[in-house]
Structure 1
């Protein structure tokens, strides 16, 4: 028994696929669908080709591309978390908190130098005053260059 091949026009194929006749013609121009020499389509083959194209390569490539981007982002986050745990990186809020505390403390210490040193330096020569003030200011500034990663730890991290 011979197999009957069902053929149809672009309009009939469009109706079966649920798309416009124009879209069918676009798919022919994109060489996704194949029009027979007679100008019509072998419907079963055209429908199968349409759905293979619709659900195959593009979505799969897109899926793996998105998955690769997702994995790269997860890796970057893991690296950032590791750097943070090793005190190689700090959250901006922690840096702001520590720096604000340090600079506020330095400001109050520097503003207190005149009151502290006035009585001590009274009736001293310019060279002695300059030397003593220099020592006092340098001792206050030295505190700023002592980096301690423990300063950046949150109280909440201990939990």
Structure 2
């Protein structure tokens, strides 16, 4: 195929075809003839590479990245809301209140143990009951001060 025909097919000037041939994008066979399919393939690859290079440095690509980031953040926010609505997630304050109530109830029951022991075991002396009370209070205090308890 001649340079003029290749230029017409690619909608370029003959000068542009000669330039592409110098850069080995247009495949020159002999005496000004060109391999149509090899030249088209090389030219398409050249255009893809040029577009990719422009895309990496353009303001448009930065805007695209920002839009993608914003879209991901919205999706994450929506997932959190959906998790709360379906009770997969609960607010930390609600969990803390619930555990505080449970532990206050447990503390109250534990502090009642010495009195119940005194009622059920009539042979315990006041000193025995005071010792049980002290052990329970010490254990509760220790548990309350232990970060890993």
> TM (normalized to structure 2)?
0.41
Bigger Rg, which one: 2
> TM (normalized to structure 1)?
0.39
